[in-house]
Chains A and B, each alone.
Chain A
Amino acid sequence: MTELLVARGLGIAFGGVVALKDFDLAVAEGDLLGLIGPNGAGKTTAFNLLTGVLRPDRGTIHFAGREITRARPERRALAGMTRTFQNIRLFDELTVLQNVMAGAHGRHGASTLAAVFGGPVLRRSEALIREKAEAVLARTGLAELAGQRADALSYGDRRRVEIARALAAEPRLLLLDEPAAGMNDREKAALSELVTRLNADDGLTIVLVEHNVRMVASLCRRLVVLHEGSVLAEGATERVLRQPEVVGVYLGRRRDHETRQGAGADASEGAGGGC
């Protein structure tokens, strides 16, 4: 398998707080990788650096053989890397279908002039975008909700629409930031099933940030554990979860979390939400 995404020595600090240091990550084509770690470990910061929401202070990122360390987020998306957000960022005043159609604009949207003056170019582009969006909605089990406004949906459905919108941009690599947060057990099961299908059937490479260790363990073959901004462990899921330092981080999480909050080390999540 070839490596699709390679990050080397990524680091970033917010003010005096180091959110991520010497972060290495290699994601192979077809991988389903879990990125776990306690609150404030730097998971969302890592996603923000990979997708261009934040620029790293140091380190490099390569995607599909090209360096993208300084590329703008939209360039990375068109190169084939899209994401969802921990705090859902749907377009509330648009319908589910329109949200997903917006996801296909970057690749298939007609120009402004074509939009104003009409003609075959516009008609073809609009038909293609609608077709793609409807296919994604069917794939993600959202077809029945197509006409609903995004702000009228349940929490679990909103998460799924965000995934659908990211899929409409036709990624090779999908980064999911805590997709199961706030979902009930039934929604979680459906999400697990969807993620598995996208990876196994469609060959989509997926990196998953998740709090719920049980879910990650059942889904991902490989794990990367972050702790206090650095990689604590990585490798095959079962082996990583048995490592004493990983167990220690999770068992000691409560105390660890309290001290970290005092130090303001949640900066990574804060910065992620604020941009």
Chain B
Amino acid sequence: MTAGSPASSRRLSQLQALVLLAVLLAGGVALLEAFGSGYHRTLAALTLINVMLAVSLTMTNGFTGLFSLGHPAFMTLGAYVAIAFTYPAGRKSFAMPDLPAFFSGIEWPLPAGALIGAIAAAAAARIVGISVLRLKVHYLAVATLGLIIIVETLALNLDGLTRGGRGLTGIPRSAELWLIALCTLLVIVGCWRLKHASVGRAMLAVRENEMAARCFGIDAVRLKVTAFVLGAGIAGFCGALLPHVVAVMTPNSFGLMLAFNLVAMVVVGGQGSILGAVFAALAFSLGTEGLRPVEESLGLYGLTQVVVAVVLILVLIWRPKGLFGLDEPLVETR
């Protein structure tokens, strides 16, 4: 937020930035649909979902100073709830025999299912948040790690709903690229608006000094719950989209490794920087895919994860606040 700095004259206005983002997304989708291979489209879809996840985590953690690692838990929940609504009706009794009879005739379109998945994840976050958000920074991190394990274990053992470790296959590939791009645009714009409104400033005040913020009338607990629930809702939505890109869902599709990667994206981009999270998610997603052939040719499997960890450590040493800190690069913030 460098309003009034010399660079601000060369920054895009918010409207220009919005138009540019929309054009880039629409153009990218059009090009990929016309000329891209299935591989490219899937890569683009996964990249955009990573962008949404990183942006929502920078809202939850970056705006309010929480340190939640719980995104994968909410993604898993959102995914299974959505699948219960979108899975081909004819195969439900075989794949998910324990599903209540109500679901047996249902085969809803993805947006409806994903929305319900998001609401379920947000509701779960609201319930968990009441107790968990009393915890200070690293205790919250540990508690949300526990949440990932709990959800994963539940999914593994609720065999009649999830097919356990064998996973659900044959999920409709209904997450069209344009739909994901549209959702990405909405998530970025929504989080941007939140950050630059009074509520956003109040959240940042809580992050900077909770007691000082409370002493001039900011309800810190409520804002933290809001950020946690909103972030979980977006995570639930993304979790619902993902299996509809790759057609498979297993209990450990979204695990600890993903939690680490997401936190790495947020820390590298700058905690609280929305565009920082976007750039970090793009670099991470495309970078790891770019490194894959190197891994294979050298036989150094796991190399990408090492690179991510090293980048994270280097950023923490040289730029502890991330590449952009709280700032938004390139765009005016008034």
A residues with a Cβ closer than 8 A to B are 51-53, 72-74, 77-78, 82-83, 85, 89-95, 98, 101-112, 114-116, 118, 122, 125-126, 129, 147-149, 165-166, 168-169, 275
Contact = CB atoms under 8 A, between A and B. Distances in A.
Nearest to A76: B215
B3 to A, nearest CB: 5
A102 B193 contact: no
Interface string B267-295: 00000000000000000000000000000
B201 A115 contact: no
Given A77-B215, A82-B216, A169-B216, A109 B198 contact: yes
B198 A73 contact: no
Given A73-B211, A112-B226, A112-B230, A91 B199 contact: no
A275 B211 contact: yes
B205 interface: yes
Nearest to A118: B193
A149 B8 CA distance: 14
B197 A126 contact: yes
A91 B217 contact: no
Scoring B200, B212, B218, B325 by chain A CB atoms within 10 A of each residue's CB, the highest score goes to B212
27 contacts: A52-B215, A74-B215, A74-B220, A77-B215, A77-B217, A82-B216, A83-B215, A89-B209, A90-B208, A93-B1, A93-B208, A93-B325, A94-B205, A98-B1, A102-B213, A103-B217, A105-B199, A106-B202, A108-B198, A109-B198, A111-B199, A112-B194, A114-B197, A115-B197, A147-B3, A166-B216, A169-B217
Contact of B198 (A53, A125, A275): A125
A76 to B, nearest CB: 8
B238 interface: no
B296 interface: no
Nearest to A166: B216
B199 A102 contact: no
B236 to A, nearest CB: 17
Contacts of A98: 1, 201
A82 B198 contact: no
Given A77-B216, A106-B216, A115-B193, 9 more contacts: A102-B201, A105-B199, A105-B218, A106-B202, A111-B199, A115-B199, A125-B198, A147-B4, A275-B211
Nearest to B3: A147
B326 interface: yes
A94 B204 contact: yes
B208 A91 contact: yes
Nearest to B192: A116
B98 interface: no
A105 B325 contact: no
Scoring B4, B215, B219 by chain A CB atoms within 10 A of each residue's CB, the highest score goes to B215
A77 B205 CA distance: 15
B196 to A, nearest CB: 8
B280 to A, nearest CB: 18
Scoring A51, A74, A108, A147 by chain B CB atoms within 10 A of each residue's CB, the highest score goes to A74
B205 A91 contact: yes
B214 interface: yes
B204 A53 contact: no
